[in-house]
Structure 1
């Protein structure tokens, strides 16, 4: 037999997900590439590893035993890598984060310098909506989470990173600016919402509720990127964070609509559970952030202070 560690890794992900498609997504590979690796792995055994029933893939009894053995082999290989790095005096291990979807415009800049300093660290980031971030955090699945609103029902420590400012935004096309700056202006505009569970949506709904407004929802979209494209197309208006809109704001493709009571401001925060025993990697990352966050903001987010 001549299987590779890569084939073992692919097979374990298929076993965990019972899906070639989901395994491909997690591995950042195409579905055909994963299918080819599975076929090449299967070709080395006379006994089937998987079976397909009603278009769903299942492990055979033999496949389950192979998957368990593969996990053991991969863990041993990782241990060898870690020992090699330890002998070199390097920091090693895994850093796991769950990040609210808008945070993808923030978090990479607070990670890149740290990762460049420590080549032995493996990074895993899950970018999703706020509810799923809170759930993964509550289930102790990650070291840290990036949020802009603290979860009230959890006991957390936090490190503030930078402000999160939300304005009413619309297309920068000429002659499209609405008149007035009273909150009731929202009742006359076609509004674009994020999906339920989004932190951006909760902030927008709180502003509407605080001013007892009756508004018209034109669209509901599942990402700030999708909302941005809808705004650029002139489909409506939305209260959303400025982060991620740098180019559109500086080139006047999008326009801030002045509205009393805006901006609403929260703070991007890295949170971790008060009772969690942080790994050496996680502790080193906190130390890095405390020493470097102001320089990171100055270097990458100087444009943000203009608004």
Structure 2
């Protein structure tokens, strides 16, 4: 056997993504380079590690055992590297986050300086829907998650980061005027575009609809804030959207806020983690950083929000 750590990492990444193309993207390598590494690794075993059925790549039962062993080896290598960095007085280790899709507009600003000051910290951040974020918390796959409405059924610790304002929004051809506030009942006359069930934005909007006893027409249901934004821009309807994701469109006058009495709707972005979670040194350092720096970050990067 003459396999390398690089080959182990490539094989584990292929197994995680079940695709050479996706593994190449994750590793920042070309597809041919990943294919060659897999071929060289496979040549050291008499039993197949992978198989292709149709166009889908699968890991064989033997391959799954090799994946597990490879991951254990890579984890031990990480421990060695972390010990060396920490011996030199630096923070080291992996920092794993899951972030709901609209959280991608704010989380990078709470990470940039921390990662710059702690080059030994390796970030893995998954931007996904709320259901996947909650699942990653339950399965202990991440250190922290960013949500606007924490799941009540989980025992969580949390730090409030910043307000999340939601406004009724239309494109620049919307016939609704913007000089004075509309009544709540105006919402009943609109074809509204919604996020998918379970998203924090959807929960906030539906809670308001129920409180005001409104009868709403759901024009479309889409699975990301970007998809909703593009639908509104195209003139398919109006939507109640987080302000954080439409700054550029407002500045360019491609979208406009329709004033409605009782708006904006508000929730709060929360950094959450499981109460029983044993935080790593890198996770503890990040938590301390957020607690110390959040106010200055919000003032510097998100001061524009107070204008709305």
1:239/1:65 CA distance change after superposition, 3 Å = closer
The answer on 1:299 being equivalent to 2:294 is no
Kindly report which structure 2 residues correspond to 1:216-227, keeping only aligned pairs within 5 A, or say none: 216-227=217-228
1:153 positional shift: 1.7
SS state at 2:245 partner = coil
Distance between the aligned counterparts of 2:290 and 2:181, measured in 1? 42
1:46/1:276 CA distance change after superposition, 3 Å = closer
The unaligned stretches of length 5 or more in structure 1 are: none
The answer on 1:279 being equivalent to 2:280 is yes
Aligned partner of 1:207 in structure 2 is: 208
1:275 positional shift: 2.2
Aligned partner of 1:262 in structure 2 is: 263
The worse-fitting range, judged by mean Cα deviation, of 107-116 and 52-61 is: 52-61
Kindly report which structure 2 residues correspond to 1:106-185, keeping only aligned pairs within 5 A, or say none: 106-173=106-173, 175=175, 177=177, 181-185=182-186
Distance between the aligned counterparts of 1:88 and 1:53, measured in 2? 49
1:37 positional shift: 3.5
1:71/1:299 CA distance change after superposition, 3 Å = same
CA contact (8 A) 1:204 1:240 kept: no
1:80 positional shift: 2.7
SS state at 2:157 partner = strand
1:256 positional shift: 0.7
CA contact (8 A) 2:181 2:261 kept: no
The unaligned stretches of length 5 or more in structure 2 are: none
SS state at 1:243 partner = helix
TM-score (norm. length: structure 1): 0.89
CA contact (8 A) 1:21 1:31 kept: yes
1:259 positional shift: 0.7
The worse-fitting range, judged by mean Cα deviation, of 173-182 and 247-256 is: 173-182
How many residues are matched?
307
1:24/1:209 CA distance change after superposition, 3 Å = farther
The answer on 1:14 being equivalent to 2:11 is no
CA contact (8 A) 1:98 1:145 kept: yes
Aligned partner of 1:97 in structure 2 is: 97
Aligned partner of 1:241 in structure 2 is: 242
CA contact (8 A) 2:176 2:258 kept: no
Kindly report which structure 2 residues correspond to 1:38-49, keeping only aligned pairs within 5 A, or say none: 38-45=38-45, 47-49=47-49
SS state at 1:15 partner = helix
Distance between the aligned counterparts of 1:69 and 1:229, measured in 2? 45
Distance between the aligned counterparts of 1:10 and 1:150, measured in 2? 35
TM-score (norm. length: structure 2): 0.89
CA contact (8 A) 1:129 1:199 kept: no
For the aligned residue pairs, the C-alpha RMSD in angstroms reads 2.5
1:58/1:226 CA distance change after superposition, 3 Å = closer
Aligned partner of 1:87 in structure 2 is: 87
1:280/1:192 CA distance change after superposition, 3 Å = same
1:40 positional shift: 4.0
